[in-house]
Amino acid sequence: MTSKFLLIIFSLLLNCNSSAEKVTEKETPEGIQNEVYDDQETYLLGEFERKELEQSPYSYWFNSGYKNYEPEEKHMKVIKENISDYEIILFMGTWCADSQLEVPKLYKILDQAGYDYSKLTNIAVDPYKETPNHIEEDYEVNLVPTIIFRKDGVEINRFVEFALETFEEDLADIVSQKDYQNPYADF
């Protein structure tokens, strides 16, 4: 077996799965939907804004992940030169350890690159990787985080679940249109 295959199998075993069962669904005053599972964990669902990640109960992982992350400058240079060409669609789960690790990094990179946030769409999925309007199906999202990079309405590439090298190196390869394939591209 190849090491890439073993890495993918290992990742699938550890990916962001949940065996929790739905108990209730509610809508906040801002229109953000949260669902509560029998483990009493609340999470974002559907489109959301960054400010929601910066507040409890998500702030403990988002703010510290953002503060403690320092992307390598050589990759940031490439990102800064190219990122403005892209619209980005982020699919994530606030309940998901991989999303908790990578999403603060994404925001740090976008901040440092001076990215136009009007071109970013944030979508939170439930532990079954679903949204109320099933938009994840349109984008064939099965794992989170999935970060889709689009130019002129056409998907150019995507980051899925974990970095092959480092997060910023993978993103630099994507936005400079180097030969990058996420770990699941062949499946």
Q: Give 129-187 pLDDT, tens digit per residue.
A: 999 999 999 999 999 999 999 999 999 999 999 999 999 999 999 999 999 999 898 87
Token pair listed for 57: 């109960």
The yes-or-no verdict on residue 21 having pLDDT over 80 is: no
- If you count DSSP H runs as helices and E runs as strands, how many of each does the chain have, helices first? 7, 7
C-alpha torsion sign, points 171, 51, 94, 60: positive
Query: DSSP readout, 51-111?
Result: HHHTSTTTHHHHHHHHHH----HHHHHHHHHHGGG-EEEEEE-TT-HHHHHHHHHHHHHHH
pTM (two decimals):
0.81
Residues paired with residue 113 on neighbouring β-strands, in sequence order: none
* CA distance linking residue 185 with residue 75, whole number of Å: 23
pLDDT interval class at 120 (50, 70, 90): very high
Percent of the chain with pLDDT over 90: 75
Task: Please tell me the number of Cα atoms within 13 Å of 60 on its side-chain side.
Answer: 5
Token pair listed for 27: 């809508």
